[in-house]
Amino acid sequence: MTRQEALQALLVGAEVAAEKIHEGYNLLATGELGIGNTTPSSAIVALFTNSSIEEVVGRGTGIDDAGLIKKRRAIEKAFEVNQPDRTDALDVLTKVGGLEIAAIAGSILQAAASRVPIVIDGFISTAGALVAAKLAPKSTAYMFPSHGSVEIGHRKALAELGLEPVLHLNLRLGEGTGAVLTFHLIEAALHILEEMATFADAGVSEKLT
């Protein structure tokens, strides 16, 4: 991507989130459908977490050893050719990211700007969350990671964000599957916070008998 294309993709994601927030949605989620996008995601995570490629590149949809080697080499080549600046989030996004990752980052930034929580689902979405966090660090306060992916770089990405996943189900998908499960837990937590009676409300004595 060019830098302008990356900015446009960020704005596309922001516009989608803004539209839904305007319609009255007060909890959003990210997700993606695609093949090959764990490669740019791994590149982003490697740069932002200062990790080696071997530490963050997983098997994605289940590639064999030869495919894993090829995947690592592709990222090495991208770093060599494009020379991304890890201190410049937009530069990283432009040089080793993807349009879908940019749109995810944009949706997260818009959610945070609107003070609306957003559930981050899977490895690719977490790469987008890293981009968002590097552009606007306070945006992490509005992120809820849904699940811990089996992709090896996901744990490092979440650690960089300072976040813990709600679920540990050995999910590989990032297609919103963990997000829809997490929605119910967030809603349940809100019901407990807002509706659960105290001992006093329920007429229960706190004294031990």
Query: What are 62-100's pLDDT values in tens digits?
Result: 778 888 899 999 999 999 999 999 999 999 999 999 999
Q: What is the pLDDT of residue 207?
A: 62
Catalogue all structural domains in the chain, each as residue range(s) with its CATH number.
Answer: 3-197 (3.40.50.10210)
- Please name the residue that has the structure tokens 């297609």: 175
How far apart are the C-alpha atoms of 60 and 98, rounded to whole Å? 16
Query: What are the phi and psi torsion angles at 87 (to 5°)?
Result: -85, -5
**Chain centre distance of CA 204:** 43
Beta strand 28-29 with 118-120 is: parallel
Which one is predicted more confidently, 174 or 112?
Answer: 112
Determine the Cα–Cα distance for residues 191 and 60; give it in Å rounded to an integer.
37
- Tokens encoding 119: 């559930």
Smallest Cα–Cα separation from 127: which of 149, 115, 87? 149
Beta strands in 125-164 (DSSP E): 143-145
- Residue 182 pLDDT: 93
Residues 183-195: what's their mean pLDDT?
A: 90
Q: How confident is the model at residue 150 (pLDDT cuts 50, 70, 90)?
A: confident
Cα distance between residue 6 and residue 90, in whole Å:
7
Amino acid code (one letter) for 136? A
3-state secondary structure of 61: coil
* CA 24 to each of CA 17, 21, 201: distance values in angstroms, whole numbers, following the listed order: 11, 5, 32
The residues annotated with a catalytic role in the active site are: 175
Could you tell me the two tokens for 171?
A: 């999910």
Coil, helix or strand at residue 46: helix
The overall average pLDDT reported for the chain is 91
CB 93, CB 105: distance < 8 Å? yes
What is the layout of strands, in order, in the sheet containing 118-120? 28-29, 118-120, 143-145
Mean pLDDT over 173-178 rounds to 80
Percent of the chain with pLDDT strictly greater than 70: 97
Which residue's entry shows tokens 């995810």?
Answer: 104
Is the pLDDT score of 208 beyond 60? Answer: no
pLDDT digits (tens, 9 = 90+) for 94-113: 999 999 999 999 999 999 99
What does DSSP assign to residue 198?
P
Residue bearing the bigger pLDDT, 174 or 70? 70
What confidence score (pLDDT) does residue 16 get? 97
Condensed to tens digits (0 to 9), the pLDDT of residues 10-60 reads 999 999 999 999 999 999 999 888 777 899 999 999 999 999 999 998 887
pLDDT given for residue 172 in this prediction:
73
